[in-house]
Amino acid sequence: MTRCNPTVVIAAVAAIGGAIGSTARAQTVAIVGGTVYPVSGPKIERGTVLIRDGRIVAVGANVPVPSDATTIDAAGKWVTPGLINAITAVGVDEVDAVPETVDQTAVGDNGIAASFTVVDGLNPASQMIPQARAGGVTSAVVVPGGRLVYGQAAFVDLVAGPASALVVKAPVAMVVQIGNAAQAHLGARGEVIDRLRGLFDDVRLYERHPADYDRGGLHRLSAPSRDLAALVPVLAGREPLIVFADRASDIENAIHLGHDYGIKIVIAGGAEAWQVAPALAAAHVPVLTGALDNAPQTFSTLGQRQDNAARLRRAGVQVVIVGNSDTEDVGAFNVRNLGQDAGTAVANGLLWDDALRAVTLAPAELFGLADRVGSLAVGREANVVVWSGDPFELSTRAEHVLVRGHEYAEPTREDLLTQRYKTLPPKY
Amino acid sequence: MPRVRRDHPHWEHGLSARLKSERRGHLAAGTVIAALVVASGCATGHVAPTTTPSPTTSATASTARPSATIDTAPLPGMLSVPNANPFPSTYAPFPSRTTVIRGATILTAAGPALHDASILLRDGKIVAVGASVDVPPDAVVIDGHGRFVTPGIIDVHSHMGVYPAPGVDANSDGNEATDPSTPYVWAEHSVWPQDSYFPRALAGGVTTVQILPGSANLIGGRSVVLKVVPSRTVQGMKFPGAKYGLKMACGENPKRVYAQRGPSTRMGNVAGYRKAWIQAAEYRRRWDKWNADHKGEPPARDLGLETLAEVLRGNILVHMHCYRADEMAQMIDVSHEFGYQIRAFHHAVEAYKIADLLAKNGTAAAEWADWGGFKMESFDAIRANLALTNRAGARAMIHSDDPLGVQRLNQEVAKAMRAGAAAGIPVSDEDAVKWMTINPAWALGLEDKIGSLEVGKNADVVLWSGTPFSVYAHADKVWIDGALLYDRADIAEHWRTDFELGYVPADSATARAAR
């Protein structure tokens, strides 16, 4: 790989030694001459993105470049916001088959792990972070796994630094599944629903009578107080509830739950979401889905199809494309492949502009972070990628990746292996 | 959802499909008794039943088939077994029309790209390919301007049929994980022809696949080479004349699966291979001797050792799942110790570390574009693997091991090309197309029949909507033996499995919206 320009490496090292993970200090960067896709507005030919102190300070066709600016020549290149992969295990799943490197899933209490904050296990030294970043993915949602109530997801920027520096917002959502009774160690779909309703009822009870709970004055509730407390913002409609659901009827049940409890529902997976697209649109329920699955892999995904995203979008549903290019979503090795999913969604009918939005501004909006990430607009964090071409095309490379205004160009572990073995036998 | 699998209570089954795949294996060594019939010279491979314990009934059945559907004659060495071909192919090409594709960019996998060129398909074969071809009066003429033509894609590593959709336990038949060495099982006996993954692979331009047992075992069983065609039976999909493969597996999977009973270490793995080959060599010697002199009673048959002996005779090709470079080097030594050839390492994520050794040994490497990291032995996966392997002169090829990945092997090749370019090893379209066509054809021993667009070869052809190395490309039409088996525009004719009827909307598998 070619990302080992020595001067840039030095810059990266300097940044790591300094204000790690935070904004590069007093640095002005101008990305000039590229076709700029702000996502929040129309594309700009031969545009400039001006960055100062980690934030975007100007975007346009006629932006003066200060004399002290570091200039990136983007002539002939495509400039977009950094991609956001909204379902990942980045930083909490290094080697999937080595349990000591995996911190994604809590045991919980009867399948309920609402108080589990997956980000507490985030490993900022994970090699998956630079690997994803080198592919142009600058933010990710770290999502817990689990049985019924998985726990709390976190939104992170893929910067170098301590774990706390990566976090943009945590918790950013609560995560549950609906429709897989066996996974929940329950007997039937209806029992899954019943368990969730009982839990939500108890959250309300707990919220009204926390002192009674502490005194043991309430009936036996369905979860420990810490779990109930963690669900309070969800029941208040402040924190979204990501519901993994594939079968159309499961998705409908999730919509009903949201309606009955005033919960802001987000569907993840959503294999058959297209079948209930009008209901999703009417309830303003977004869908996080990939574009590579198209087979009846289970009895819950019989209607899975690759134009799912396109159909949902046409019906007015907010769609976020998530990367499942690594088809079984094991580990975080291919968080970088998000563009392939977006491109495949386009090949199956999604408009290109909608696809770009679905991996940038749409997830930012969904998680209430559109004022910080997801677009190239003044005031936003300077998460910017300069691509050699169409960011979804398989021949395209992310040539410059900036997160919070800092360009990351040091070689990844993959790059180092490649360099070592480019000559056989290797020198070592 | 991936999450469903991950949370499965049994770790082994809860891991990714790729781990499952690796575990899925068993070799079925079964049918071929190595030496039995050499002396008979029976061209059909059906041996005189008097000396053979059992397998004669299938011979009767097969001779009753119409001649057009009888499998090709067994390979010479196969005559050494009582019945080399007890489950003969009944495949017959589908009806075809003489077809000309005109004005396309043709990647032949046998030379430079041909621009604004034409190809003529007739009677199941490629009759002409070049700047211009004669158009017979009865030919269907297809305008290929702006489009690309390649050979049909070949996937040497698939578990379609043995791990079908829907992925329920009742249909999960890919790993005979009951013993670390199961050369006696044959993948074809697990293949469900109604697997809904098959039509989807075809729609991705895939025309030939090798179905392997999983990788739980050191020696997993026999593979089977199938054409991706609708059929009521697996016999109707079997590639006539294709050699069998033997699935073997290195590393973590066998020692994990058999941790309690052994092998539980890599050294235990190697001892297991060597033990099996010692038995196979002895078995082969006994049968070869008996076949030469016919003295006394024939040795007792052993289904597993029959297969291993056929490997030693060179009649079955070894396909070995092996990630790590150092292990591959050791497996090559084992093969030298017992005198067989490893045709291809699969999942060879560290091939780039020993590409020179692979080239020297004539062993191919089947690789992913970018899968890795899911276990220690996959952790050093790099995307320039194919480019580096290729540059060292070893045969590189893409493979899927995945029923979704098989649908876009062209995209996987494209990603590997990008990685090569980024590493300073640009790979041309002409070379890259070989990674999904002629190189896997060679790995299957079928390079004289498929894998390139050359006169006389089978007319397995894909017409792409544009360059196949684009994320936006679709396979517009797919021919197998000259028959148009898939036409993206003709939804009514799309192959739908029995399972899909009623359950799956008619166009979901293969109809992709126009861009």
What is the domain range of residue B307?
A: 1-129+143-515
Q: Does A88 touch chain B (CB under 8 A)?
A: no
Which letter does DSSP use for residue B171 in this model? G
- Tokens representing B129 are 């390919």
Interchain pair B509, A295: CB under 8 A = yes
pLDDT digit string, tens, across residues B173-184 = 999 999 999 999
pLDDT for A399 beyond 50: yes
The answer to whether residue B138 is domain-embedded is no
DSSP per-residue string spanning A233-262: HHHTTSS-EEEEE-SHHHHHHHHHHHHHHT
Q: pLDDT tens-digit profile of A29-40?
A: 999 999 999 999
B7/A147 Cβ within 8 A: yes
B15, B384, B472 ranked by CB distance to A418: nearest: B384
pLDDT beyond 70 at B79: no
Please answer yes or no on whether B16 and A330 come within 8 Å at the CB atom: yes
Residue to substitute from B5, B6, B206, interface A, most A β-carbons within 10 A: B6
Q: What is the pLDDT of residue A23?
A: 45
Least confident of A47-56, A148-157, B142-151, B496-505: B496-505
Residues of A in contact with B515 (CB under 8 A): 346-347, 349
Task: Report the pLDDT value the prediction gives residue A329, as an integer from 0 to 100.
Answer: 52
- Give contacts of B4 with chain A, Cβ < 8 Å: 180, 183, 298
Return the higher-pLDDT residue of A212 and B144.
B144
Is A299 in contact with B376 (Cβ distance < 8 A)? no
* Model confidence at A327: pLDDT above 90: no
Report yes or no on B228 lying in a domain.
yes
The answer to whether the CB atoms of B376 and A98 lie below 8 A apart is yes
Nearest beta carbon to residue A326 from set B371, B471, B473: B371
**8 Å CB contact of B384 and A347:** no
Task: Flag whether pLDDT at A44 surpasses 80.
Answer: yes
Q: Which one of B4, B256, B406 makes the best mutation probe of the A interface by having the most chain A beta carbons within 10 Å?
A: B4
The pLDDT value recorded for residue A215 is 80
Nearest neighbour of B382 by CB, restricted to A94, A297, A418: A418
Min Cα separation A242/chain B (Å): 13
Q: Is the pLDDT of residue B37 over 90?
A: no
Q: Smallest CA–CA separation between B70 and chain A, in Å?
A: 33
Residue B483 has pLDDT above 60, yes or no: yes
pLDDT by residue (tens digit) across B212-259?
999 999 999 999 999 999 999 999 999 999 999 999 999 999 999 999
The conformation of residue A210, written as its DSSP 8-state character, comes to H
pLDDT for position B67? 39
Q: Is residue B136 part of a domain?
A: no
Q: Which residues contact B390 (CB under 8 A, 6 or more apart)?
A: B396, B420, B425, B427, B431, B435
Query: Do B212 and B25 contact (CB within 8 A), yes or no?
Result: yes
Average pLDDT estimate for A261-273: 97
Structural domain contains residue B135 = no
By C-alpha distance, the chain B residue nearest A336 is B370
Query: From CA B323, how far away is CA B235, in angstroms rounded?
Result: 32
Distance from CA of B154 to the nearest CA of A (A): 20
Residue A66, sorted as left (phi over 0), alpha (psi -120 to 50) or beta, turns out to be: beta
DSSP state of B6: H
Residues of A in contact with B3 (CB under 8 A): 145, 177, 183, 244, 269, 329
The answer as to whether B355 is a domain residue is yes
B376 to A95: CB separation less than 8 angstroms, yes or no: yes
Residue pointed to by tokens 């041909």? B114
CATH architecture of A83-366: Alpha-Beta Barrel (3.20)
Minimal Cβ distance to B370: which of A307, A337, A349: A337
CATH of domain A6-81+380-421: 2.30.40.10
3-state secondary structure of B291: helix
What's the rounded Cα separation, in Å, for the pair A19 and B440? 51
Q: Which residues of B397-433 are buried (b: 16+ CB within 10 A; e: fewer)?
A: bbbbbbbbbbbbbbbbbbbbbbbbbbbebebebebbb
Query: Does A16 score more than 90 pLDDT?
Result: no
Token output for A391 = 């960011």
Number of domains comprising chain B: 1
- pLDDT for res A330: 61
Is residue A244 less than 8 Å (CB to CB) from chain B? yes
Asked if the Cβ–Cβ distance from A96 to B374 is below 8 Å, we say yes
Taking 50 as the threshold, does the pLDDT of residue B69 lie above it? no
Q: Where are the domains of chain A?
A: 6-81+380-421, 83-366
Query: Nearest C-alpha of chain B: how many angstroms from A81?
Result: 20
Which residues numbered 129-188 in A keep a CB inside 8 Å of some CB on B? 145-147, 177, 180, 183
> pLDDT tens-digit profile of B160-176?
999 999 999 999 999 99
Indicate the pLDDT class of residue B456, thresholds 50, 70 and 90: very high
Chain mean pLDDT for chain B: 86
In this structure, are residues B53 and B302 in contact, taking their beta carbons and an 8 Å threshold?
A: no
- Given CB atoms, is A95 within the 8 Å cutoff of chain B? yes
Residue B421: its chain A contacts at CB < 8 A? 395
Residue B38 has pLDDT above 90, yes or no: no
In percent, how much of chain A has pLDDT > 70?
A: 92
> Do the Cβ atoms of A343 and B471 come within 8 Å?
yes
Q: What is the CATH number of the domain that holds B496?
A: 3.20.20.140
Cα–Cα distance measured from residue B224 to residue B317, given in angstroms and rounded to the nearest whole number: 11
pLDDT of res. B235: 98
Q: Which of B59-73, B188-202, B326-340, B458-472 has the lowest mean pLDDT?
A: B59-73
Structure-block tokens of residue B168: 């329920």
Size of interface A-B (CB pairs under 8 A): 197
Q: Which pLDDT value is given to residue B505?
A: 80
Query: Is pLDDT above 60 for A18?
Result: no
Neighbours of B271 (CB within 10 A): 14
Chain A residues within 8 A of B398 when measuring between CB atoms = none
Between strands A149-157 and A167-177, the pairing is: antiparallel
Q: Tell me which of A399, A421, A422, A428 to substitute to probe the interface with B (most B C-beta atoms closer than 10 Å).
A: A421
Contact across the interface for B375 and A95, Cβ inside 8 Å = yes
Label residue A218 by pLDDT band (50, 70, 90). Answer: confident
Q: Kindly report whether the peptide bond that precedes residue A233 is cis, defined as omega within 30 degrees of 0.
A: no
Contact list, A303 vs chain B (CB under 8 Å) = 504-505, 508
| CB-CB contact of A264 with A240 (8 Å) | yes
pLDDT in tens, B351-392: 999 999 999 999 999 999 999 999 999 999 999 999 999 999
Residue B134 is assigned to a structural domain of this protein: no
pLDDT of A169 > 70? The answer is yes
User: Taking CB atoms and an 8 Å cutoff, what residues of chain B touch A397?
Assistant: 418, 422
